[in-house]
Amino acid sequence: MEITTEMIKELRAATNAPVIDCRKALQESGGDFQKAVDWLREKGMATAAKRADREASNGVVELYSHGSGRVGVMVEVNCETDFVARSEQFRNLAHELALQIAAASPRYIKAEEIPTGELDHEADIARARAREEGKPDNILPKIVEGRLEKYKDEVCLLRQTYIRDETITVEKLILQNVAAIGENVVVRRFQRWELGESTSQA
C-alpha cells in the first residue's frame, strides 16, 4: 500500500513523532493508522506514550540538614506543572518529607521496592521469634504476616506514621496535599546520610 504525505501528516498530528518515524510506522503497519500509532508507542517515539514521564518532570529537590550537620537528606518530589512546583504549599510538603526522612530513617519509598530476599530474611526472624515465645505452629503464618506488615510500616516512607500527626501516614499527608493542590505528587527518590555511617548502608 502506498504511504501518502497526508497519512504521514495525520499520524504526526496525532502522535507528535518525527516524520521519518511516522513513515516507517505506516510502512510497518501496512497503512493501518491505529497499528501505526501502536508501533510508535511500542518504540517509545510517540509523545503520547511518554506523557507519564513528562507529567513528572517538574518539582523540586529538597535538601535538609539536621543536628548541626549530623544528618543530611536529599529528596526529589515531582508534580505536573512548574507553576505548582514553585508554590509555597508544594515546597512545604517537600520540606516536610525531608524532615520525615531525617527523623524516621525510611529505606524505601513503597513496599514494592523491598527486595524479596530482605522480606524472606525478616520472615525467618519473625518465625524464629514466635517459636521462642512458644506460639503454636498453626498461628505462625498469621504472626509472621503481621510482623512483616509492621516491618514495611517502619522502612517504607509512604507507610510511616507522619511525625507531626500520628493519626495519618505519609501517604495520607501526600494525598491531602494532592487534593488541595489539584495535581499528582510523586516522591521520585531520596537519600539520607548520617555522619560516621558505613558507606555500604542504603
Looking at residue 142, which CATH number applies to its domain?
A: 1.10.286
> Buried (b) or exposed (e) across 124-142, using 16+ Cβ within 10 A?
eebbeebeeeeeeeeeeee
Residue 171's CATH number: 3.30.479.20
| 3 state SS of 198 | coil
Whether residue 172 sits in one domain with residue 77: yes
- Between 35-49, 109-123, 138-152, the lowest mean confidence (pLDDT) is in 35-49
Whether residue 132 sits in one domain with residue 67: no
Whether residue 146 sits in one domain with residue 48: no
Tens of pLDDT along 23-53?
888 999 898 888 888 887 677 544 433 443 4
How far is the first Cα of the chain from the last one, in angstroms, to the nearest whole number?
A: 56
Whether residue 149 sits in one domain with residue 60: no
* Structural domain count of the chain: 3
Nearest 5°: phi and psi at 95? -65, -45
Q: Which domain holds residue 11?
A: 5-53
- Residue 200 pLDDT greater than 80, yes or no: no
Whether residue 13 sits in one domain with residue 103: no
- Residue 140 pLDDT greater than 70, yes or no: yes
- Residue 59 pLDDT greater than 70, yes or no: yes
pLDDT of residue 89: 92
Torsion of CA 187, 158, 121, 104, to 10 degrees: 100
Whether residue 41 sits in one domain with residue 135: no
**Which residue stretches of the chain are H helix?**
5-15, 19-28, 33-43, 51-55, 82-85, 88-104, 116-132, 140-155, 170-181
- Residue 189 pLDDT greater than 70, yes or no: yes
Whether residue 44 sits in one domain with residue 12: yes
DSSP 108: B
- Residue 7 pLDDT greater than 70, yes or no: yes
Whether residue 139 sits in one domain with residue 61: no
Whether residue 122 sits in one domain with residue 49: no
Whether residue 130 sits in one domain with residue 62: no
Tens of pLDDT along 66-108?
888 899 999 999 998 889 899 999 999 999 999 999 999 999 9
What percent of the chain lies above the pLDDT cut of 90?
Answer: 50
CA 173, CA 98: separation in Å to the nearest integer?
A: 13
Residues 6+ apart with CB under 8 A from 3: 23, 26, 27, 31
- Between 56-65, 73-82, 107-116, the lowest mean confidence (pLDDT) is in 56-65
Whether residue 64 sits in one domain with residue 40: no
Whether residue 91 sits in one domain with residue 34: no
Computed on alpha carbons and rounded to an integer, the radius of gyration of the chain in Å comes to 24
Choose from 26-40, 154-168, 184-198 the range with maximum mean pLDDT. 154-168
